[in-house]
Copies of this chain bind each other. A is one copy, B any other.
Amino acid sequence: MGNEKPKLRVGLIGTGFMGKTHSFGFAAAERVFDLPFELELHTVADRTEELARAAARGLGFKNATGDWRRLVSEPDIDLVDITAPNAFHHEMALAAIAAGKHVYCEKPLAPRAAEAAEMANAAVSAGVSTQVGFNYLCNPMMALARELIASGELGEIRSYRGIHAEDYMGDADGPFTFRLDPVGGGALADLGSHALATAEFLIGPIERVLGDEVTVINSRPDAKGGRTAVEVDDIGRAFLRFANGATGSIEASWVATGRKMQHDFEIYGSKGALTFSQERFNELHFYVAADAGRVRGFRRIEAGPDHPPYGLFCVAPGHQLGFNDLKAIEIALFLEAIAGQRSEPFGFKSGQRVQELVEAVHTSAVETRWVSTLKHVA
């Protein structure tokens, strides 16, 4: 039956780790899902033609180019996938949109919300589909959490606590990198963006924030042998007010010694509660207030075929999905959106939204006042 599927030709810009991960994701999505398209890995672009050619062989693309603009203007290509360094996202995405391509872009879309908005609006005008890489949200257990909330099984949501903490910037003698760039850098932008996206994915629109930002390591060794002052936050926090009346908080830290993937949340409703940790992302813990008192307690739910699309990866429960499987799900959802089978799960508007939330927290932290975030809701 695959025969009559339309072709979708992919052009990939960037061949680093994320380029590899995306290529892998396309291949995996095609094998795991019954996609609406037959994929063709058409062209890969890198800084030089030589690099691109080597990458094409390794990643399974047919053609290679040292000029991303040629890829973007190639008439045969339907989807441009941008995994180049963050600084290029804005220019590349706008060019691809202008050429009428669907665009898949790693986060962050752009260092500032205004630029992200420009990209999102361009896509709407051009009528192309877009996607930002929010892989954590593609976890079947995340979908289950959202569903339990939406269906009222938690009752009225009362509070939310979200965290994204890691320790990869915890070494005071680690080098000054692009992540520390005063424009668009910081733990809040890098990790808090995930915590904020998860909060809205599960609970709904955030209305107001009261932020807190801290620079823990005030200078870092630079390439010139000295130390450069750090202007961005190492830890960002915010109190939240949701449109549905719930309140909460998020925290982001990249200096949380010992934490590798603490993308966690706790949600308390009038009828139940949920807790989750990305460190064990094949589990969701669910408290049901209506259970009889003496046998009531958080249920450790293990991912299985009851939690689609888990069953497409493994026939039996308990086998566990991995990080790369989440990427395949992310790609499948995007392709369904391109085919018109569903709305965009994480379109550029979502990417813009997260940047706006990050900026609102930042403004709030600097000015010590509640900052409204409601006008921007998609």
Q: Which residues of chain A have a CB within 8 Å of any CB of chain B? A: 1-3, 17, 20, 23-24, 27-28, 30-32, 54, 57-60, 144, 148, 153, 158-159, 161, 163, 165-168, 170, 172, 210, 212, 214, 216, 234-235, 237, 239, 247, 249, 251, 253, 255-261, 268-273, 278-281, 283, 285-289, 291, 293-302, 304, 306-307, 313-325, 368-370
The answer to whether A298 touches B258, judged by C-beta atoms less than 8 angstroms apart, is yes
For the complex, what is the distance from the CA of A219 to the CA of B294, rounded to whole Å? 29
Are the CB atoms of A302 and B27 closer together than 8 Å? no
**A302/B249 contact (C-beta < 8 A), A27-B27, A31-B60, A159-B255 known:** no
A323 touching B317 by the CB < 8 A rule?
no
CB-based contact B260/A268 at 8 Å? no
A59 to B32: give the CA distance in the assembly, Å: 9
Asked whether B289 lies within 8 Å of A258 as measured between CB atoms, the reply is yes
A261 pairs with B299, CB closer than 8 A: no
Query: In the complex, A198 Cα to B166 Cα: how many Å?
Result: 24
A57 touches B2 (CB 8 A): yes
A165 partner residues in chain B, CB cutoff 8 A: 268
Given contacts A261-B317, A321-B323, A323-B314, contact A255 B158 (CB under 8 A): yes
Residues of B within 8 A of A210 (CB): 210, 212, 368
Contacts of A259 in B (CB 8 A): 268, 273, 318
Complex Cα distance, B306 from A319, in Å, reads 23
Residue of A59, A148, A259 ringed by the most chain B CB atoms within 10 A: A259
Contacts of A234 in B (CB 8 A): 158
Most chain B CB within a 10 A radius of its CB, from A31, A214, A271: A31
Shortest Cβ gap from A167 to chain B (Å): 8
Residue of B nearest to A300 (CB): B297
Contacts A31-B59, A158-B235, A161-B163 known; 15 new A-B pairs at CB < 8 A = A1-B54, A27-B31, A28-B324, A158-B255, A161-B251, A257-B268, A259-B318, A260-B318, A261-B302, A283-B297, A291-B299, A293-B306, A294-B306, A299-B300, A313-B323
**Known contacts A28-B27, A32-B24, A249-B237; is A260 also within 8 Å of B302 by CB?**
yes
Task: Check if B322 sits within 8 Å of A313, measured CB to CB.
Answer: yes
CA distance A259 to B158 in the complex (A): 13
Contact A247 B271 (CB under 8 A): no
| Residue on B nearest A240 in the bound complex, by CB | B212
Q: CA–CA, A302 to B280, complex, Å?
A: 10
Residues of B within 8 A of A298 (CB): 258, 299-300
Give the docked Cα–Cα distance between A251 and B162 (Å): 12
* Contact call B299/A256, Cβ cutoff below 8 A: no
**Complex contact B324–A313 (CB within 8 A):** yes
Contact indicator A257/B269 (Cβ below 8 Å): yes
Contact B253 A159, beta carbon cutoff 8 Å: yes
Q: Taking the nearest CB of chain B, how far is it from the CB of A32, in angstroms?
A: 7
A-B interface, 5 closest residue pairs, ranked by CB to CB distance from nearest:
A322-B322, A260-B318, A261-B318, A258-B287, A319-B323
- Bound CA span A251–B210, Å: 15
